């Protein structure tokens, strides 16, 4: 080639330049003669690079958001198994503690009252009226007696039964009262005090009073006592028991043994009526 050819000149000029550059780079690499590097153009300053970086950052952020969302959804289901295990462990511990002691106190169950429940009123207990004393039924008169006579005859029979006297003694007592007072509780005109007590008339045979015309002066009792038909009947039965063998005596003789009357045969006339009355009152 001709030295004056432009193309040859260009190739010739280009080679040294490359060699010098390589040498310079070699020198910089070796470090013997480090020269200052020429200023480089920043890659971030290029518009296409900036667009590419922005697009990449956006994609990365989207991926991070999706990954976070998946992680959060997965996290909600992961703790289920550890929680169940923890509850089972606590239950086992509680059972173990409870089985160690038999002296456990059970808390009383708390019963809450129902809001609609109303207290049940206690039933009213009706008070029973006090019973009035029942008056004894008056006996029906028999053997021609009136009610007053029959009431006194009942007292004589009741006292004899209370004293465990036999039926024969009841007949003797009734016949005696029929003869002495006609079965009336009599006071005495000789003893004005006798009129102060309940009576059904009066007599005048000395100081004799009551159903059996017993005399206070003879030791039968006080006027007040003899004016009570029950006391007079008891006094008669007591005296009759003191007569030996009175059970085998006739009504007249047994009555006379007690009364010592001036008319000893008078009692016999009342034996039949006395038997009827005794039967009616002991039936």
User: What is the mean pLDDT of the segment spanning 16-40?
Assistant: 45
Residue 185 belongs to some domain of the structure: yes
Q: Does 126 score more than 60 pLDDT?
A: yes
Higher pLDDT, 161 or 77: 161
For 89-122, how does the pLDDT look when each residue is reduced to its tens digit (9 = 90+)?
Answer: 665 555 544 444 444 454 455 555 565 656 666 6
What rounded mean pLDDT belongs to the chain? 75
User: What is the mean pLDDT of the segment spanning 264-281?
Assistant: 95
User: What is the mean pLDDT of the segment spanning 256-278?
Assistant: 93
For 175-231, how does the pLDDT look when each residue is reduced to its tens digit (9 = 90+)?
Answer: 999 999 999 999 999 999 999 999 999 998 889 999 999 999 999 999 999 999 999
Residue 258 belongs to some domain of the structure: yes
Q: Please give the pLDDT value at position 215.
A: 96
For the chain, what is the domain count?
Answer: 1
Q: Please give the pLDDT value at position 110.
A: 56
Residue 159 belongs to some domain of the structure: yes
User: What is the mean pLDDT of the segment spanning 28-50?
Assistant: 49
Name all contacts of 17-24 with Cβ < 8 Å and 24+ positions apart: none
pTM: 0.55
Residue 171 belongs to some domain of the structure: yes
Q: Please give the pLDDT value at position 117.
A: 55
Q: Please give the pLDDT value at position 150.
A: 98
Residue 268 belongs to some domain of the structure: yes
Q: Please give the pLDDT value at position 261.
A: 83
Q: For residue 202, which phi and psi values (nearest 5 degrees)? A: -145, 155
Beta-carbon contacts of 131 under 8 Å, excluding residues fewer than 6 positions away, are none
Residue 270 belongs to some domain of the structure: yes
The conformation of residue 45, written as its DSSP 8-state character, comes to G
Residue 236 belongs to some domain of the structure: yes
Residue 29 belongs to some domain of the structure: no
- The whole-angstrom separation of Cα 175 and Cα 260 is 15
CB 229 within 8 A of CB 156: yes
- Boundaries of domain holding 204: 147-282
Q: Does 66 score more than 50 pLDDT?
A: no
């Amino acid at each position: 080639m001709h030295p004056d050819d432009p193309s040859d000149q260009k190739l010739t000029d280009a080679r040294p330049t490359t060699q010098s550059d390589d040498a310079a780079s070699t020198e910089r690499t070796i470090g013997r003669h480090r020269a200052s590097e020429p200023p480089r153009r920043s890659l971030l300053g290029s518009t296409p690079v900036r667009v590419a970086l922005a697009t990449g950052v956006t994609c990365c952020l989207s991926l991070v958001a999706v990954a976070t969302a998946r992680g959060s959804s997965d996290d909600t289901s992961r703790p289920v198994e550890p929680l169940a295990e923890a509850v089972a462990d606590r239950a086992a511990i509680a059972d173990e503690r409870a089985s160690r002691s038999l002296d456990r106190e059970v808390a009383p169950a708390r019963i809450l009252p129902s809001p609609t429940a109303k207290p049940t009123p206690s039933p009213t207990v009706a008070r029973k009226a006090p019973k009035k004393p029942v008056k004894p039924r008056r006996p029906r008169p028999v053997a021609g007696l009136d009610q007053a006579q029959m009431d006194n005859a009942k007292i004589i029979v009741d006292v004899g039964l209370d004293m465990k006297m036999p039926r024969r003694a009841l007949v003797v007592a009734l016949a005696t009262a029929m003869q002495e007072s006609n079965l009336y509780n009599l006071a005495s005109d000789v003893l004005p005090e006798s009129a102060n007590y309940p009576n059904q008339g009066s007599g005048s045979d000395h100081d004799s009073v009551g159903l059996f015309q017993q005399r206070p002066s003879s030791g039968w009792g006080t006027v007040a006592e003899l004016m009570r038909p029950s006391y007079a009947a008891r006094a008669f039965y007591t005296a009759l028991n003191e007569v030996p063998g009175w059970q085998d005596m006739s009504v007249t003789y047994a009555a006379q043994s007690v009364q010592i009357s001036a008319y000893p045969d008078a009692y016999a006339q009342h034996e039949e009526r006395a038997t009827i009355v005794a039967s009616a009152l002991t039936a």
